[in-house]
Structure 1
Amino acid sequence: MKNRLLLLLLLMVNSFFAQDTIMQLWPKDKIPNHLKSVEKEIHEQNEILRISKVQVPTIEVYLPSKRDATGEAVLIFPGGGYGILAYDWEGTDIAKFLNSKGIAGIVVKYRLPSDISQTDKKYVPLLDAQRAVRLVRGNAEKFNIKPNKIGIIGFSAGGHLASTLGTHFNEKVYEPIDRIDDESARPDFMALGYPVISFGEMTHLGSKKNLIGENPTSELVNYFSNEKQVTELTPPTFLLHATDDTVVPVENSLLFYKAVKDKGVSVTMHIYPKGGHGFGLGLHDEHLKDWGNRMLDWIVSLR
């Protein structure tokens, strides 16, 4: 009997903390552009955790100890071509790295475009991204972070979503639901790892097709070619890429660097000669393994 009570207590404690660290982006039954369907979310664990067909978008919050906390937070958008999320490789692993430096790491499990479970699927990742920033800003006190120190990082297609958020944060893509939507969706800074930026000639065709279809209009191509959407309000930007990336050409980062620079926005860029695509933290590469520290130096320079 004693052991059963202890087990029950442990389960209750674990449940409490799980609810405290994973939050749904939207109130139940109020998820914009959502259709009830037979589509189910899929988690596949091999070398990395791949999540697809996301139905209930969430944020997973990793907080540093209060004694180490800098007050900064970074929302993390994993990549995967808008078809899957490389959830640990470009998500929770990044959050844990940030925690070790006193920064809150918040992984966004955003919805991926679907013809089955969504209406107007091309805007769905963006509206989840906007809501995620607003939700974190609205809970800044609870998370022990400063509401004006909330940045974002995205990798590959997650970099496209992050750069879309950084250039379209003011656009109304959904109707306000609650007080959280009174918060600003503008990130205070933005880091982009080997990002898809353009939907023009240098794009990643899979990401483009999954988001806006096989035969998009020129207006849609321009709208989601984020080098064309930069303004003076685009957040300070950090860019990371490898020259030998054959999946997402390095020209994507070069285009965005020039666009941001031309608007007078603070920008820094690290281009490595080798590394390919999708190297995550790059811990097994002597040249790449320090990129995270270079990003941290840049964040410090913004203080």
Structure 2
Amino acid sequence: MKHFTLILLFASLASLSAVEKPAVLWPDGAPGALGTTPKDIPTLTPCLPAKTSGAAMLLIPGGSYSGIYEGQAEPFALWLNEQGITVFVLRYRLGSAGYRYPAQLQDAVEAMRQIRGAADKWKIDPKRIGVMGFSAGGHLASTLINRPEDGEVEGRKPAISARPDLAILCYPVISMITKPHATSRKMLIGEKPSDELVRQTSSELQAHPGLPPCFLWHTAEDKLVPVEHAQLYAAALHQNGVPHELHLYQHGDHGTGLIGTQHPWFADLVFWLKAHKWITTP
């Protein structure tokens, strides 16, 4: 019965959206590509709402930097479409395919530039383009707002900013030092990273004044990525005067609150987005 309900929900959301074919992010080959198979070719999938609010979101699924968890891709894109938000799902290069930092960030930076550069085409406001990431995707999202310069490709000097205007981090991986998620750390920076690289990829140490507003949520029962990750980043944002909102829910293991479930984070996020004028519907 639950499976049938999910099918009906996705069908209902899909009727309010148009999911386009994935576009190759780097038509001439990704920088430092290790091959030409699908795992070497990151993509960006536009998901267009029936009626746009003018806001857009780069959606970054999780997967421990070793895979792409599809349950955090199009299902959430369709839900955001229902709120009037245009969404672009990023499938980025992974550590399991031999890619280490900053290859993943290069993909996120390029995705942001392509979205903002084609704002007229997509009928979106170039100053209302955010990023939303889950788990390891939350780490990539936090890195994108903290240190987009690390994702710059040598020899290129784009005039378009790659920093998002808003960030949503869902049970994010944050620290490579405090209770690190072992798989994400290994896949991103290898088994023997330098102390400098560990600090560089620990987002709580890289927050600074001037970052965009952030919405974070986590659960106290998360056994995979400890709740301290979100708490550390929220504390760093507070210390640097960055507007943010942190929601800690008592119950739920890692990955709770997926589409098709009842969870308060959906309503809390919609309330926050309305306060920031990203959702204009009643």
Q: TM-score, normalised by structure 1?
A: 0.81
Secondary structure in 2 matching 1:269: strand
The separation in 1 between residues aligned to 2:165 and 2:28, in whole angstroms, is 29
Q: What is the CA deviation profile of residues 247-278 of structure 1, one whole-angstrom value per residue up to 9, with x for unaligned ones?
A: 00000000000100111110001111011101
Other-structure match for 1:298: 272
* C-alpha contact 2:109 2:151 (8 A) present in aligned 1: no
- The alpha carbon displacement at 1:229 in A equals 0.3
Larger Rg over CA atoms:
1
The separation in 2 between residues aligned to 1:104 and 1:172, in whole angstroms, is 24
- The alpha carbon displacement at 1:177 in A equals 5.1
The separation in 2 between residues aligned to 1:57 and 1:261, in whole angstroms, is 34
Secondary structure in 2 matching 1:85: coil
Other-structure match for 1:9: none
- The alpha carbon displacement at 1:28 in A equals 2.2
CA RMSD of aligned residues (A): 1.9
- The alpha carbon displacement at 1:172 in A equals 5.4
- The alpha carbon displacement at 1:69 in A equals 1.1
- The alpha carbon displacement at 1:282 in A equals 5.4
The separation in 2 between residues aligned to 1:186 and 1:233, in whole angstroms, is 11
The separation in 1 between residues aligned to 2:84 and 2:92, in whole angstroms, is 25
Secondary structure in 1 matching 2:95: coil
Other-structure match for 2:222: 245
Question: Cα–Cα, structure 1 residues 244 and 282, in superposed 2: closer, same or farther, change >3 Å?
Answer: farther
How many pairs were matched up?
Answer: 260
Percent identity between matched residues is 38
Q: What is the CA deviation profile of residues 107-157 of structure 1, one whole-angstrom value per residue up to 9, with x for unaligned ones?
A: 1011112565x5xx2210001011111110011111111000000010000
Is 1:201 aligned with 2:165?
A: no
Question: Cα–Cα, structure 1 residues 36 and 170, in superposed 2: closer, same or farther, change >3 Å?
Answer: closer
Q: What is the CA deviation profile of residues 199-227 of structure 1, one whole-angstrom value per residue up to 9, with x for unaligned ones?
A: 01321010001111112111111000000
Higher relative contact order, chain-length normalized (CA < 8 Å, sep 6+): 2
* C-alpha contact 1:111 1:125 (8 A) present in aligned 2: yes
| Alignment match of 2:129 (pick from 150, 157, 160) | 150
Q: State the one-letter code of the partner of 1:299.
A: L
Other-structure match for 2:103: 124
Q: State the one-letter code of the partner of 1:79.
A: G
| Alignment match of 1:164 (pick from 130, 139, 143) | 143
Q: State the one-letter code of the partner of 2:64.
A: G
- The alpha carbon displacement at 1:36 in A equals 2.8
Is 1:64 aligned with 2:49?
A: yes
Is 1:220 aligned with 2:197?
A: yes
The separation in 2 between residues aligned to 1:81 and 1:122, in whole angstroms, is 13
- The alpha carbon displacement at 1:171 in A equals 3.9
Q: What is the CA deviation profile of residues 85-108 of structure 1, one whole-angstrom value per residue up to 9, with x for unaligned ones?
A: 012x11111100001111112110
Q: State the one-letter code of the partner of 1:58.
A: T
Other-structure match for 2:25: 25
Other-structure match for 1:102: 84
Q: State the one-letter code of the partner of 1:24.
A: V
Secondary structure in 1 matching 2:163: coil
Secondary structure in 1 matching 2:73: helix
The separation in 2 between residues aligned to 1:261 and 1:201, in whole angstroms, is 18
Moved over 6 A (4+): none
| Alignment match of 2:256 (pick from 279, 282, 289) | 279
* C-alpha contact 2:43 2:90 (8 A) present in aligned 1: yes
